[in-house]
Structure 1
Amino acid sequence: MGQPLRVGIVGAGKISGQYGATLARLPQVAVTAVADLDPGRAKLLAEAQPGARVTVLPDLYAAPDVDVVLNLTTPNQHAAVALAAIAAGKHVYGEKPLAATGADGLAVLDAARSAGVRVACAPDTVLGTGVQTARAVVDAGEIGVPHAATAFMTVPGHERWHPDPEFYYQQGGGPLLDMGPYYLTALVHLLGPVRRVTGMSSRPRSERTIGDGPRAGTAFPVDIDTHVTGVLEHDSGALTTLLMSFDVWATRLPFLELYGPRGSLSLPDPNYFDGDVRLRTAGSDSWSVLPPRAGYAGAGRGVGLLDLAEALSRDRPHRAAADVALHVLDVMEAIQASARGGASVAVASTCRRPERIPELIGVGEHAGGDRG
């Protein structure tokens, strides 16, 4: 590949540690600069990256040794940071979601097209062996053409473990916007884009109580719906039943399953890169655990930057694609609009279905998932 893709990181908060651990073991990528509102946090992150320096935002955007800006700021800052990086002629890789709104996300894509730079976006968990092995099964026709899927993310709520959980229960939060991108991005990779949705939502509790940390026992209001359900109609005609909830104490539901005329396919948690993929074909009386067939093995947060680096060097589309991220954002907004209005809503955008990874590619030790 020649010279590594040189990365400038904006934002050194909690998730940056997972990214940093992954990037430090990728020879195709080199972190050269780190900027954060808290210089101390930036220093800690930079010290874990050989050759990286602490800098300020204007200098990072202008730096000749930064090819791509890794945007790890809070969601309400995603669009502003991306637009500033694009204006400086840099590629952008962002944490999910692409932006706080579909309109902001579209502005980012339009700016990137005009500037001739690329935008990529998490989640890159879809590039791990879990989703990619399932994708290989689907593409090989082993369950036939999928006609249905289920996607379930159910937990009691993040206030049990997060010391400052209020933002999860304010506008821009909730189970759909927080965890939906993992499930919806996997569904797009497996089944293609969504054309129409029907959604409903509820708010069983108007108040929550912090369960951990120095503020344990503190009550706070819930300003958004915390139980969201719906049906997605994909362009292929497949129908997905979706449930995203902060109001379920326990369940025996699967994370993600696909159903076809020749069998069923059960996937691991799409918030992680790996895990068992199970197949049960028509006529079989048991599930088979499939060995990994494809994807980045041992991947962690940030492996999408490896894929972006290889895509740039080979002049091919990258797989953690911004048009997929924008489409996922539009799907989530459409579900919310349907829940408010009581009718089906057409999704504003579409996207290409990214090419699957055709083989197993080892990238080192597994780096885990995200709790939110």
Structure 2
Amino acid sequence: MTKIALIGTGFVADYYMTTLANYPELTLAGVWDHDTARLSRFCGFHDVRAYGSLAECLGDQEIAIIVNLTVPESHYELNCAALNAGKHVYCEKPLGMTFEEAREVVDLAASKGLTVCGAPANGLSDAQELTASLITAGRIGTPRLAYAEMEDGPVFKDNWTEWRSRSGAKWPGVHEFEVGCTLEHAGYALSWLVSLFGVVEKGQAFSALTFPDKGPGTSGLSLASDFSVGCLSFRSGVTARLTCGLAAPRDRSLTIIGDDGTIVVRDLWDDRSPVHLSRFDGKRPLLQRLAGRFERQRRQVLPLRLTHGRPVAYAAPARTRKLSGFPSQIDFGRGIAVMARAIAAGEPPFFSGERALHLTELALALNEGAGSFTPRSDF
């Protein structure tokens, strides 16, 4: 059994609470939040212990892993405090608000013989494992090009001020608009790309604030970019384009093109997303052939979009487990469980240390629209 503590009981904390139930080897000792009303509501809803202070939480000698679910601006300070208290750290993205902060967190953990891991956990999903196995088996030949989409839809036009988590926490819309969709969401695609293709050697990044009016409570604020696009060159030879936005229709897909075919992952937020495979020397599915024939005959595009290729069956049936509500079908607890198992085995977790630093650096570069950049991190 590994005892953990959550720090931060905002909107995302309920996602973690829902999925921690999938891992009985993890024991939640307690939670803390500087907002006492939010903390009380969260603890009452989930029937968990509230620490009286941050010092009490970090001083609990039974805690092995601190799960940092605070706002991004607090990540660096809290990560360092937890590491200095002798705790391993699992941190929501990013590790810090600058590369230097993230570098210091990773170095501090190494100097103390501790582990720091970064979210998100969707890079550990069943869908990622299936996609990786198709690539390893040579089903599309050598991968050459990837297109990753992290379009969240025009959420600022929705009734986001009314959104609540299971325990009643407000969706922090204003703060997310200030931090930016890239720091919030690029990691969901980057974790996949880095896990599949390795280190990014160089990149090009552009970002912009395209919709400065985000609605109630945002007037006069300094809002971050709501659109970014990055082109990444991987050491393995793959080139990828990653787009993040808050206006285009929701699309969280990943398309990988190789010498012999393509793989399409329909939803990177779905732990068991449909994964489609097509080969250049293969026959297209009947429905896709009929749709193409109709469009050619009518000389117009159908008002629907069929996912290219045929769905690939998962090798094993879905496990009985809990996931957060649609559209966030991510097993958030898996990242902590994988971390705990690796620590117990004396091994580095996959998304820890230098790899976690690399993901943070890439997200920061994309968020800043840094133009040409060469990552300083490696693994």
TM-score, normalised via structure 1 length: 0.82
Identity %: 24
What SS does structure 1 have at the residue aligned with 2:332? Answer: coil
1:294/1:282 CA distance change after superposition, 3 Å: farther
Letter in 1 for 2:375: V
Stretch of structure 1 that moved more, 90-99 or 34-43: 34-43
Letter in 1 for 2:227: H
Partner in structure 1 of residue 244 of structure 2: 244
Match of 1:315 among 307, 328, 346: 346
What SS does structure 2 have at the residue aligned with 1:153? Answer: strand
Query: What is the deviation of 1:80?
Result: 0.9
Q: In the alignment, is the contact (CA less than 8 A) between 1:127 and 1:295 conserved in 2?
A: no
Letter in 1 for 2:176: Y
Query: What is the deviation of 1:46?
Result: 4.0
What SS does structure 2 have at the residue aligned with 1:264? Answer: strand
Aligned 1:47-66 pairs, distance under 5 A: 52-66=49-63
What SS does structure 2 have at the residue aligned with 1:236? Answer: coil
C-alpha offsets along residues 33-56 of structure 1, whole Å, 9 cap, x if unaligned?
211113343344445667745331
Query: What is the deviation of 1:259?
Result: 0.9
Q: In the alignment, is the contact (CA less than 8 A) between 2:122 and 2:191 conserved in 1?
A: no
Partner in structure 1 of residue 28 of structure 2: 31
In structure 1, what is the Cα distance between the partners aligned to 2:358 and 2:114? 19
Partner in structure 1 of residue 366 of structure 2: 335
1:202/1:47 CA distance change after superposition, 3 Å: closer
TM-score, normalised via structure 2 length: 0.81
In structure 1, what is the Cα distance between the partners aligned to 2:270 and 2:123? 8
Partner in structure 2 of residue 346 of structure 1: 374
Partner in structure 2 of residue 115 of structure 1: 112
Aligned 1:141-152 pairs, distance under 5 A: 141-152=138-149
In structure 2, what is the Cα distance between the partners aligned to 1:27 and 1:227? 39
C-alpha offsets along residues 91-118 of structure 1, whole Å, 9 cap, x if unaligned?
1111112222211111111110111111
What SS does structure 2 have at the residue aligned with 1:209? Answer: coil
Structure 2: state its 5+ residue gaps: 162-171, 286-308, 324-330
Q: In the alignment, is the contact (CA less than 8 A) between 1:20 and 1:48 conserved in 2?
A: no
1:27/1:161 CA distance change after superposition, 3 Å: same
In structure 2, what is the Cα distance between the partners aligned to 1:28 and 1:321? 20
Q: In the alignment, is the contact (CA less than 8 A) between 1:209 and 1:220 conserved in 2?
A: no
In structure 2, what is the Cα distance between the partners aligned to 1:36 and 1:225? 28
Partner in structure 2 of residue 229 of structure 1: 229
1:295/1:257 CA distance change after superposition, 3 Å: farther
What SS does structure 1 have at the residue aligned with 2:138? Answer: coil
Bigger Rg, structure 1 or 2: 2
Query: What is the deviation of 1:11?
Result: 1.0
Matched positions, count: 335
Q: In the alignment, is the contact (CA less than 8 A) between 1:226 and 1:245 conserved in 2?
A: yes
In structure 2, what is the Cα distance between the partners aligned to 1:21 and 1:224? 30
Structure 1: state its 5+ residue gaps: 352-372
What SS does structure 2 have at the residue aligned with 1:66? Answer: coil
In structure 1, what is the Cα distance between the partners aligned to 2:19 and 2:65? 16
Asked whether 1:78 is paired with 2:106, we answer: no
Partner in structure 1 of residue 270 of structure 2: 272
In structure 2, what is the Cα distance between the partners aligned to 1:116 and 1:205? 45
